[in-house]
Amino acid sequence: MTPPLLLVNARQVLTLAAASAKNGPRRGPDLRELGIIENGAVLCIGGKIVSVGTTKDALRDPWLKKNRKKVTEIDCGGKVILPGFVDSHTHPVFVSPRLVDFEKRIEGASYEQIAAAGGGIRSSLEAVRSAAKATLTDKIIAAFRDMAAHGTTTVEAKSGYGLTLESELKSLEAIRDAGSRWPGTVIPTLLGAHVVPKEFQGCSQKYVEIVCTEMIPQAARRKLAQFVDVFCDKGAFTAEEAQQIFEAARAHGLNVRAHMGQLSETLLAPFQRFDPASFDHMDHLNESDIPMLAKSDTVATFVPGANYFLGMKTYPDARRLIDSGVAVALATDYNPGTSPTLSMPMAMSLACTHMKMSPAETIAAATINGAWALRLADRKGSIEAGKDADLAVFDTEDYREIPYWFGANHCTLTAMNGIVEMPR
Ligand SMILES: [Zn+2]
C-alpha cells in the first residue's frame, strides 16, 4: 500500500481543473486556464489525489490532523507543483542511437535521401529483430526513468522498429515488462505500419495484410496494445492502406491514432469514422479539415522536437489550429532518428519559441490534453480529487520558467500513482 503523501507550501499549484463545465479537451481560450492555487498543497491517499487547496486549508483537515504521523510530508516551499506530464507519443523500443544519420543530415542529406541510403527507420530494424527481449526491456526502463526525472508520469510507447510479427510482439512484450517495473503509467501502441520493410518493397499490400490479419489480432487478443498507429505519409503508407489498418484495429476493439502530415498533406475527413484519438505531427494540413477537427475530440498532437532535430525552418501552424478551436497536445516523439529527446519541457520551449504557443498553453497541451489524446482524461492530466496521484514538482518560482530555461532540467520530484521519486 502506497503511504499517504502530502505536498505543502508550493508557490503555485497548477491544478488544470476545468474552468467551465464543458467536458472535453481544452480548446481556444480554455487552453490557457491553469487553475492556479498560490501557497498550495496536495494530499494523496492510496495512489489517488484526495484534496488540493491552500496549505492553510490542507493543514486544517480533520483526517490529516489525526493521521499526520502516517503521512509522507514534503515541503515544496517556493516551488511549482503541476500534473505529471503525459507524453502521448514516444518510440522507446530501439537499441542504438542513429549517429550516422545525424552526421549525414548535418552534411545536408534529406529525410528521404537518408532513408533511400539505408538509414532512417529501416536501419533500426536489424538490431531490434535480433535483440533479446530483456535487452529491449532494459532500454525502455532506462528511458522511462529518465522521462520521470523530467516530470513525465504517463507515457504512450509504440512498437515499430521490428516490423515482423515476432519482433513487433516482442517489442510490445518489452513495453509491458518495462511498464510493470516502473511506477508510472504506460499506454502501449502497435505501430506495425511504421514503414514498409525492405522485404516487401513494391508489394506493400502484402505487408498491410500481415499487419491486419496477424499483428493486430494477436496484439489485441493478448492485450499487448491499446492503440494501433500508422505512419501515413509519402514513403510510408497511403491513406487507403491506413484506413484498411484502422478498419482492422477497430474490428479487434483497439483504438486508433496516426502519424499525419509530417512530410505531406493527407485529407483527414475519411478517417473520422474510426474516431481517432489523435493525429500527430500535423505540419501539413488541408484547410477544409480544420472545422471538422474543431468539432471532434480528435487531438492534434505537435512534436516540435522532430522539427528541431531535423533542422527544419517550419513548424506546424499551432496558432491557426488553437484559434480555430482544435484541441492540441504536445509530445516528445522520443525516437532515435528524428527526435532523441525525452524532455517535455524542451518540447514546450520549442512550442513557445517556434509555434507561438503561450507558456500556459504548452502546460495544458502537455498535461490535460495529452491525457485526452490517450483517452485517459478521467484519470490523468489534472490535479483534482479522485484522479491518479501523478505530480511533478519543479524548482522554479513561476510555471513560465519551465519552458523558459530550455535545455536544463528543474524537476526535483515526481509522484507516480502516489509513489515518489526524487531525481535530484
Ligand atoms: Zn513518431
- Would you list the DSSP string of 197-237? -GGGTT-HHHHHHHIIIIIHHHHHHTT--SEEEEEESTTSB
What gap in Å lies between CA 214 and CA 48, rounded to an integer?
Answer: 38
Contact, 301 vs 323, CB < 8 A?
Answer: no
CA of 160 to the centre of ligand 1 (A): 10
Task: Give one DSSP letter per residue of 52-101, joined into a string.
Answer: EEEHHHHHH-HHHHHHGGGSEEEE-BT-EEEEPEEEEEE----SS--HHH
- CA 397 to centroid of ligand 1, rounded, Å: 33
Expressed in angstroms and rounded, the spacing between residue 273 Cα and the centre of ligand 1 is: 23
Residues 192-248 pLDDT 10s: 999 999 999 999 999 999 999 999 999 999 999 999 999 999 989 999 999 999 999
**Cα 356 to averaged position of ligand 1 atoms, centre (Å):** 22
53: enclosing H helix or E strand: strand 48-54
Q: Among 395, 394, 377, which residue's Cα sits nearest to residue 386? A: 377
Question: 275 is written with which cell numbers?
Answer: 474516431
Distance CA 10, CA 179 (A): 30
Rounded alpha-carbon distances, angstroms, from residue 269 to 50, 205, 296: 41, 23, 11
Query: What is residue 10's predicted lDDT score, i.e. its pLDDT?
Result: 98
Between the CA of 219 and the centroid of ligand 1 the distance, in Å, is 19
pLDDT tens, position by position, 11-65: 999 999 987 767 899 999 999 999 999 999 999 999 999 999 999 999 999 999 9
179 CA to centre of ligand 1 in angstroms = 19
Give yes or no for a contact between 338 and 307, defined as CB atoms under 8 angstroms apart: no
* Spans of the chain below 50 pLDDT: none
Global confidence as pTM: 0.97
Q: Tell me the CA–centroid distance for residue 236 and ligand 1, in Å.
A: 12
Distance, CA 302 to ligand 1 centroid (Å)?
10
Residue 116 grid coordinates: 533511400
Distance 333 CA to ligand 1 centre (A): 5
Alpha-carbon gap, residue 390 to 226, rounded angstroms: 21
> Ligand 1 centre and the CA of 60: distance in Å?
47
**Ligand 1 centroid, distance to 55 Cα (angstroms):** 41
